[in-house]
A and B are shown apart, each in its own frame.
Chain A
């Protein structure tokens, strides 16, 4: 059982949901302002960390 992997899957999906919401807020052109870009960048970094955790837990 890898609670860490399960948490990482959920956390990544939740973070991606935040990005999905950002796409909705900025539709149709998705021209992000500086604050939105910063938010997107932070979220993407967090997603990468969750992906790294999944790689460690599941395929290494």
Chain B
């Protein structure tokens, strides 16, 4: 069925259980779907924009209140919605990093953190991960010392991922921040896989900035996200424009430079807002999500030769699995080669595993029902058994 000329309707979520590692937390709630229907037009939230003419002051729909609620929910002082976590990284890097500055991130950092540093003219330096695929406070301290020796100055910013996208491991962010603060380095916590998925308390972590992704973890349309900070940093990162036209003499009031004035002006912000009550509620059920994640991982581990590369027992719903000694041995002989796995799963109503992947791959069980979790676990085992693998 087409939704427009040459555009097929997308019914992936209605037809399949989708375990794609990056899509799970961004699936819309029913309320966000309704908001999308109502606010699809371009500048739809601007009907009641008054003075000062800025997104976070709009009272109808209650965008101003949403900003306050977001900050409070993350236990930070101030928040802005941004077009994706990456634009939050960019706003902070652009504010704090000068050309040639070293900036610390980690060997598990998302590529957009590197892009943000590069765009600001900074030089990335990575904290190495340990043998358990963790970023530790000790490793952070060593790297900070090394960077100070190399550049003869302290880095102006450190990025750390609360949960990394490669393994879905939870890192000791509070410990790393404590170390960074001993050097007066502000820390940006990338919460793309935590904000909206599990409880996040910015002050408890000691974060200077918390960035979340609307479309990855807050059940919102893309591109959307949040940048939250403390009173100490808000004035600087959310500074207002001082620009003045030399011909017209125009000035631009309270528009914030790093936000390019207004950010999410329609379906994205209203989608975030519509999902917010559900998101606030769902993070309270994190233990159930972990139990679901564990159940599917255990089903996979019952297939002889399968290994989990993420922390075990699971502390997140995103998992990296190694099936080189199980499903990949089937792929070597199968007429569909590595495509047999995604194909067999699809026949059972499961999608999201990259077609062709039978070696090392990732999946995410977030948001699935108990029944769906059972179906996913059983399907992996059935596919294994049907292809002659041993179940232990």
The one of B27, B30, B350 that contacts A28, using a Cβ cutoff of 8 Å: B350
Instruction: Give min CB distance, A16 to chain B, whole Å.
Output: 9
Instruction: Give min CB distance, A11 to chain B, whole Å.
Output: 10
**What are the interface flags for A1-35 relative to B under an 8 Å C-beta threshold, 1 for contact and 0 otherwise?**
00000000010011001101101111111000000
Chain B interface mostly: helix
Instruction: Give min CB distance, A47 to chain B, whole Å.
Output: 14
Does B372 lie at the interface of the complex (its beta carbon under 8 Å from any beta carbon of A)? yes
Instruction: Give min CB distance, A39 to chain B, whole Å.
Output: 12
B16 touches A20 (CB 8 A): no
Give how many A-B residue pairs fall within 8 Å (CB-CB): 40
Instruction: Give min CB distance, B7 to chain A, whole Å.
Output: 18
Of residues 330 through 383 on chain B, the ones whose CB sits less than 8 Å from some CB of chain A are 348-350, 369, 371-372, 375
B residues adjacent to A (C-beta < 8 A): 13-17, 27, 29-30, 33-34, 37-38, 348-350, 369, 371-372, 375
A residues adjacent to B (C-beta < 8 A): 10, 13-14, 17-18, 20-21, 23-29
Bound together, the chains give a CA A13 to CA B39 distance in angstroms of: 13
A23 touches B33 (CB 8 A): no
A21 touches B37 (CB 8 A): no
B13 touches A13 (CB 8 A): no
A13 touches B37 (CB 8 A): yes
A28 touches B349 (CB 8 A): yes
Determine the residue in chain A with the shortest Cβ distance to B38: A10
The one of B30, B348, B369, B371 that contacts A20, using a Cβ cutoff of 8 Å: B30
Task: Provide the residues of chain A in CB contact with B15, threshold 8 Å.
Answer: 27-28
Task: Provide the residues of chain A in CB contact with B33, threshold 8 Å.
Answer: 17, 20-21
Bound together, the chains give a CA A24 to CA B23 distance in angstroms of: 14
Instruction: Give min CB distance, B267 to chain A, whole Å.
Output: 14
Determine the residue in chain B with the shortest Cβ distance to A15: B34
Bound together, the chains give a CA A34 to CA B195 distance in angstroms of: 34
The one of B29, B371, B372 that contacts A21, using a Cβ cutoff of 8 Å: B29
B349 touches A29 (CB 8 A): yes
B14 touches A27 (CB 8 A): yes
Bound together, the chains give a CA A14 to CA B372 distance in angstroms of: 25
- Report 26 cross-chain contacts, Cβ distance below 8 Å, ordered by A residue: A10-B38, A13-B37, A14-B37, A17-B33, A17-B34, A20-B14, A20-B33, A21-B29, A21-B30, A24-B13, A24-B14, A24-B27, A26-B369, A27-B13, A27-B14, A27-B15, A27-B16, A27-B17, A27-B372, A28-B15, A28-B17, A28-B348, A28-B349, A28-B350, A29-B349, A29-B375
Bound together, the chains give a CA A17 to CA B30 distance in angstroms of: 6
Bound together, the chains give a CA A17 to CA B29 distance in angstroms of: 9
Instruction: Give min CB distance, A50 to chain B, whole Å.
Output: 14
Bound together, the chains give a CA A21 to CA B30 distance in angstroms of: 6
Task: Provide the residues of chain B in CB contact with A21, threshold 8 Å.
Answer: 29-30, 33
Bound together, the chains give a CA A28 to CA B37 distance in angstroms of: 25
Bound together, the chains give a CA A54 to CA B369 distance in angstroms of: 36
Given the interface pairs A24-B27, A27-B349, the reply to whether A13 lies near B16 with Cβ below 8 Å is: no
Instruction: Give min CB distance, B254 to chain A, whole Å.
Output: 34
Bound together, the chains give a CA A14 to CA B274 distance in angstroms of: 13
Task: Provide the residues of chain B in CB contact with A29, threshold 8 Å.
Answer: 349, 375
Task: Provide the residues of chain B in CB contact with A23, threshold 8 Å.
Answer: 14
Instruction: Give min CB distance, A13 to chain B, whole Å.
Output: 5
Determine the residue in chain B with the shortest Cβ distance to A31: B371
Task: Provide the residues of chain B in CB contact with A18, threshold 8 Å.
Answer: 30
Task: Provide the residues of chain B in CB contact with A25, threshold 8 Å.
Answer: 369
Which of B17, B34, B38, B348 gathers the greatest number of chain A CB atoms within 10 Å? B34
Instruction: Give min CB distance, B61 to chain A, whole Å.
Output: 15
A27-B13, A28-B15 are known; give 16 further A-B pairs, CB within 8 A. A13-B34, A13-B37, A17-B30, A17-B33, A17-B34, A18-B30, A23-B14, A24-B13, A26-B369, A27-B15, A27-B17, A27-B372, A28-B16, A28-B17, A28-B375, A29-B349
Task: Provide the residues of chain B in CB contact with A27, threshold 8 Å.
Answer: 13-17, 349, 372
Bound together, the chains give a CA A27 to CA B11 distance in angstroms of: 11
Task: Provide the residues of chain A in CB contact with B349, threshold 8 Å.
Answer: 27-29
